[in-house]
Structure 1
């Protein structure tokens, strides 16, 4: 399922954009500040970033500039009331892939987001790996050698997030956000149940990797001794 991060400080606008994209089968997280956006981008993988400019803690272009300096090529659409030619030029030169001025039609916004996803799909990495594990995001499949097993959407996002942190502990909140979205209503044990299922699948595949728990903090991948 495609995932979109919406950085917009007007709640009604954020909710309307999210609803329009969710109706097209996309998962959306919404945040109102640059600080929160940076945290979400560190803990989850997004297919598109929708970014307002006039935010409580600064201009959205400052976040985009940081992402591009780090060579992060997530497709970015600027949604803003700043529609002067100079504003549009500065947004595109900073690294935005599209620039849509408010007010706008939701149908056009959705079409542009879909176009960004299609345009950038070829370079999005499909496979991730850690030790003897390999994951195909497109196929939602976990591999150990020639053996494979299918992952649920939440399991896929959890294992990909753990892989990206390369053995470092990932906090529970970050894993829950990656698997179900920041504002999803899930039970306190949902993450533990998903981790239990993933451990079972690692066992079926006879992987040399385990998922370890740091009590009260989160989870990490670890290579088992003598493997």
Structure 2
């Protein structure tokens, strides 16, 4: 269920890294430029960043500094061909949580990412809840008053985003990006199908929460007595 952002402009290396991460159950969106990665970080609540320093539009640490100045605590593993002591110190002072010089063993990279994902993030609950609902990502279930229902991975990501922003309207594009990532092609009605399934599951466990369509804006998680 983990999703990270890999900022790496070397296509072959990025492909190999994604394969290694996927084998460990970690999905990765790949972006090769600082400006596009910054836009993605603001749009998606990634659980970790894997950041190359040598990017076409500058030093990857520029992105990391922007992330930290924005108050985002997402853990970050910095990759670089620069292995001098002052380079490692520079990366850590910019806000990196870990530093891995190139070339590296793929198993070690995956192990370091998994270690970052195990670190607690103070502001993010491991079992987000709202109203009568509690989501348990570790078990892949949605719970209400002793009842539970299994969610598919895309459904889990959608509920995670809605529960992080209860009562708020979330745009369709944000839900699609959360559920399937930025790189995966999505059929036009994939989100509608996933929302239909979630709505049926909410009814099955007796929840008062509903996913409502706010016309022209997006979707929101609200109690049925205030649903539009």
Instruction: Give the TM-score taking structure 2 as reference length.
Output: 0.85
| Native 8 Å contact 2:8 2:51 kept in 1 | yes
- Counterpart Cα distance in 2 of 1:85 and 1:122: 28
- Counterpart Cα distance in 2 of 1:171 and 1:127: 23
| Native 8 Å contact 2:73 2:121 kept in 1 | no
Aligned to 2:11: 11
- Counterpart Cα distance in 2 of 1:135 and 1:164: 11
| Native 8 Å contact 2:210 2:221 kept in 1 | yes
Aligned to 1:125: 125
For residues 142-191 of structure 1, the C-alpha deviation after alignment (integer angstroms, 9 at most, x for no partner) is 12233322211111100111122232222222212211222223321111
Q: Please state whether the residue corresponding to 1:185 is helix, strand or coil.
A: coil
1:90 and 2:66 are equivalent in the alignment: no
Q: Unaligned 5+ residue runs, structure 1?
A: none
- Counterpart Cα distance in 1 of 2:115 and 2:45: 18
Q: Unaligned 5+ residue runs, structure 2?
A: none
For residues 39-62 of structure 1, the C-alpha deviation after alignment (integer angstroms, 9 at most, x for no partner) is 433444433210122334443223
Q: CA deviation at 1:71?
A: 4.6
For residues 17-40 of structure 1, the C-alpha deviation after alignment (integer angstroms, 9 at most, x for no partner) is 212212333211111223332343
| Native 8 Å contact 1:44 1:161 kept in 2 | no
Instruction: Give the TM-score taking structure 1 as reference length.
Output: 0.86
Q: CA deviation at 1:133?
A: 2.0
1:1-227 aligned within 5 A? 1-118=1-118, 120=119, 125-215=125-215, 217-225=217-225
- Counterpart Cα distance in 1 of 2:68 and 2:5: 16
Q: CA deviation at 1:4?
A: 2.1
- Give the paired residue count: 226
- Counterpart Cα distance in 1 of 2:36 and 2:167: 24
Q: CA RMSD in A?
A: 2.5
Q: Please state whether the residue corresponding to 1:170 is helix, strand or coil.
A: coil
